């Protein structure tokens, strides 16, 4: 590497706080030499030790059975966990059904969420084990399933402290998720409102390295951005030409990879794509408009994602603490789709 690039890299790493050492380090720091420290918010890595010590093994086995056969479920289950945590916190409220079709899962952004059968299967498997039956919350099952699904396809692993309780409320009207059409200022506020910072925003956006969207989300960006038959100038023209071949103006169904060239592999390639102005969504492209998020992207490109897995693990641990219910709050649902 040329001296100039090395100097640039040192500056970038210093600003964004990237460490090249131990990229797979444990996000849960050891305290006083203890292996499994008690976590804030009453969550604990050993929460089910006395009731259901097999919980992680059982959930991992079920998740592997599903995701190994249908690898695209990894992106779907990770997305489900994210959508759950951003509305009423990580309380499993996205899993609830309503006879009136007015629950979270009925909101437009959640109509394409899938993988509910994996969570239900894991919950059922737990309920067949004495001690586990009725002990493990659906919110905890979802958090574990999301982690294990990513691991099945070769992505990073992160510890999941447990002890969440399930919420009893799920309202379509409360769904206000970060939008694929938002600018970086709006996204930063969305994340800050949930106790997540700018680094968490850009790191968790890296989840777009797996999965697909549809032509419906990007048609205006590529065909009629300002109403004059133009495309978004923030997009790479060659990428626009490729997308136009796949997505006709009236096409709202054809799937489109969020990370072209690497959509089935969990890696840092997403940041290369964004740096080349090939981010599929406005919310991807706008990460270049902020100094901190842009610098993080450039650092991942220059280091080939040296810290991405570790950073993603740390941000996922933080996400799992968003507005949790613990103790006597909420309940432990018998069936994940219905309150007790």
Q: How far is 22 from 17, CA to CA, in rounded Å?
A: 14
Question: What's the token pair of residue 231?
Answer: 């495309």
Catalytic residues: 83
Residue 38, pLDDT > 50, answer no
> Per the annotation, where are the binding residues for Ca(2+)?
84, 87, 89, 91, 93, 104, 209, 259, 267
Question: What is the structure's pLDDT at 14?
Answer: 55
Longest dimension (CA), the chain: 64
Residue 12, pLDDT > 80, answer no
- In sequence order, the 6+-apart residues with CB closer than 8 A to the CB of 57 are none
Q: What is the pLDDT of residues 188-230, one digit of tens each?
A: 999 999 999 999 999 999 999 999 999 999 999 999 999 999 9
Model confidence at 8, pLDDT cuts 50, 70, 90, reads: low
Instruction: Determine if residue 277 is left, alpha or beta; phi over 0 gives left, psi from -120 to 50 gives alpha, anything else beta.
Output: left
Q: Which CATH architecture describes the domain 184-319?
A: Orthogonal Bundle (1.10)
Question: Could you give the percent of the chain with pLDDT greater than 70?
Answer: 88
Q: What is the mean pLDDT of the chain?
A: 91
Q: How far is 34 from 53, CA to CA, in rounded Å?
A: 19
Is 328 exposed, middle or buried (CB count within 10 Å of its CB: 0-12, 13-18, 19+)? Answer: exposed
Question: What is the structure's pLDDT at 9?
Answer: 55
Q: What angle do CA 261, 264, 265 make, to 5 degrees?
A: 90
DSSP string, 86-155: TTTSSSSGGG---TTS-SGGGSGGGTT---HHHHHHHHHHHHTSTTTTTTS-HHHHHHHHHHHHHHHTT-
**Residue 51 half-sphere exposure toward CB, CA atoms < 13 A:** 13
Is 92 exposed, middle or buried (CB count within 10 Å of its CB: 0-12, 13-18, 19+)? Answer: buried
What mean pLDDT is predicted for residues 36-59? Answer: 84
Which class does domain 54-174 fall in?
mainly alpha
Residue 6, pLDDT > 90, answer no
* pTM for the predicted model, two decimal places: 0.90
Q: What is the pLDDT of residues 135-180, one digit of tens each?
A: 999 999 999 999 999 999 999 999 999 999 999 999 999 999 999 9
Q: Where are the domains of the chain?
A: 54-174, 184-319
Question: What is the structure's pLDDT at 42?
Answer: 83
């Amino acid at each position: 590497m040329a001296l100039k690039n090395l100097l640039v890299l040192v500056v970038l790493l210093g600003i964004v706080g990237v460490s090249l050492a131990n990229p797979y380090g444990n996000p849960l720091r050891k305290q006083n030499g203890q292996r499994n420290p008690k976590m804030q918010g009453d969550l604990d890595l050993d929460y089910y030790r006395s009731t259901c010590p097999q919980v992680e093994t059982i959930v991992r086995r079920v998740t592997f059975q599903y995701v190994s056969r249908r690898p695209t479920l990894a992106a779907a289950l990770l997305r489900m966990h994210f959508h759950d945590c951003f509305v009423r916190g990580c309380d499993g409220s996205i899993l609830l059904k309503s006879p009136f079709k007015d629950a979270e899962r009925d909101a437009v952004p959640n109509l394409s969420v899938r993988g509910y059968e994996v969570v239900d299967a894991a919950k059922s498997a737990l309920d067949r084990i004495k001690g586990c039956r009725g002990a493990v919350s659906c919110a905890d099952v979802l958090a574990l399933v999301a982690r294990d699904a990513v691991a099945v396809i070769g992505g990073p692993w992160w510890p999941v402290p447990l002890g969440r309780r399930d919420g009893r409320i799920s309202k379509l009207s409360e769904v206000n998720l970060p939008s694929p059409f938002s600018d970086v200022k709006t996204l930063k506020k969305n994340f800050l409102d949930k106790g997540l910072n700018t680094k968490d925003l850009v790191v968790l956006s890296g989840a777009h390295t797996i999965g697909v969207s549809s032509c419906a989300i990007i048609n205006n960006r590529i065909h009629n951005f300002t109403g004059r038959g133009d495309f978004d100038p923030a997009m790479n023209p060659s990428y626009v030409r490729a997308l136009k071949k796949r997505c006709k103006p009236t096409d709202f169904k054809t799937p489109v990879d969020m990370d072209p060239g690497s959509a089935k592999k969990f890696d840092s390639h997403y940041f290369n794509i964004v740096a080349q102005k090939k981010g599929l969504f406005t919310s991807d492209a706008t990460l270049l408009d902020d100094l901190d998020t842009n610098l993080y992207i450039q650092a991942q490109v220059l280091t080939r994602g040296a810290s991405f897995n570790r950073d993603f693990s740390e941000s996922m641990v933080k996400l799992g603490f968003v507005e949790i219910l613990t103790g006597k709050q909420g309940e432990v649902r018998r069936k994940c789709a219905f309150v007790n």
